């Protein structure tokens, strides 16, 4: 065996990195570290996590609770009201499960298409809920920009959140 060959990181390590990226995407825009970390260029990594966990058939309590907590932290940093980002992230998780079933072919295009659908759905959710929570004058455009950027970058970070293997996906053709 070649001594210099590097082992591919395990699934658990990748998932931990994915979670860290999601947490950082919530916290970093709130820190005054300059325009590099300001929205909307920074992608919403929590959407990746929500879709990835949904597609990987996370049937336990951890995925929705983690998403709700991240959403509430995001709401706190943004100045409220509580529940806005939590609802957006949870809706991504719920619709991600449906789209992961519909687009369950084990190829990147299918996975990417599912995430694009999820991101677009969250824009609609954000439009409705932001008007409910923040008033009619609020603009959903910055969120839409961030969601689209998130969808474009998705193939680069997909291994952190989901595998190509269809074995764990709900309703996947096995």
Nearest to 166 by CA among 49, 55, 62, 16: 55
Residue 8 CA to residue 6 CA, distance in Å, equals 6
81 scored as a contact of other proteins (CB under 8 A): yes
**Is residue 59 part of the contact set for other proteins (CB under 8 A)?**
yes
Site for other proteins in 123-142 (CB under 8 A): 129-130, 132-135, 137-142
For position 74 contacting other proteins by CB under 8 A, the verdict is yes
Burial of residue 128, with CB atoms counted within 10 A of its CB: 0-12 exposed, 13-18 middle, 19 or more buried: exposed
Residues 9-48 that bind other proteins (CB under 8 A): 26-27, 29-35, 38-40
Per-position DSSP letters for 60-117, written without gaps between them: SSHHHHHHHHHHHHHHHHHT--TTHHHHHHHHHHHHHHHHHHHT--SSHHHHHHHHHH
Q: How many residues make contact with other proteins (CB under 8 A)?
A: 59
Q: Which of 18, 52, 71, 166 binds other proteins (CB under 8 A)?
A: 71
Sign of the torsion formed by the C-alpha atoms of 164, 56, 89 and 123 = positive
Q: How far is the CB of 45 from other proteins (least distance, A)?
A: 13
Select the residue interacting with other proteins from 143, 154, 158, 160 (CB under 8 A): 143
Which residues of this protein are in contact with other proteins, per CB under 8 A?
26-27, 29-35, 38-40, 57-65, 67-68, 71, 74-87, 90-91, 93-94, 97, 129-130, 132-135, 137-143, 145-146, 170
């Amino acid at each position: 065996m070649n001594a210099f060959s590097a082992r591919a990181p395990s699934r658990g390590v990748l998932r931990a990195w994915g979670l860290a990226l999601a947490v950082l995407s919530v916290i970093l825009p709130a820190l005054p570290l300059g325009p590099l970390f300001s929205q909307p260029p920074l992608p919403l990594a929590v959407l990746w996590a929500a879709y990835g966990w949904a597609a990987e058939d996370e049937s336990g309590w951890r995925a929705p609770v983690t998403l709700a907590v991240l959403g509430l932290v995001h709401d706190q940093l943004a100045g409220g009201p509580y529940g806005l980002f939590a609802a957006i992230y949870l809706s991504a998780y719920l619709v991600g499960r449906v789209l992961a079933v519909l687009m369950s072919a084990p190829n990147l295009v299918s996975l990417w298409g599912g995430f694009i659908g999820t991101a677009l759905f969250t824009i609609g959710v954000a439009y409705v809920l932001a008007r409910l929570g923040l008033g009619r004058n609020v603009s959903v455009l910055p969120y839409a920009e961030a969601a689209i950027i998130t969808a474009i970058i998705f193939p680069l970070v997909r291994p952190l959140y989901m595998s190509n293997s269809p074995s764990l996906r709900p309703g996947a053709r096995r």
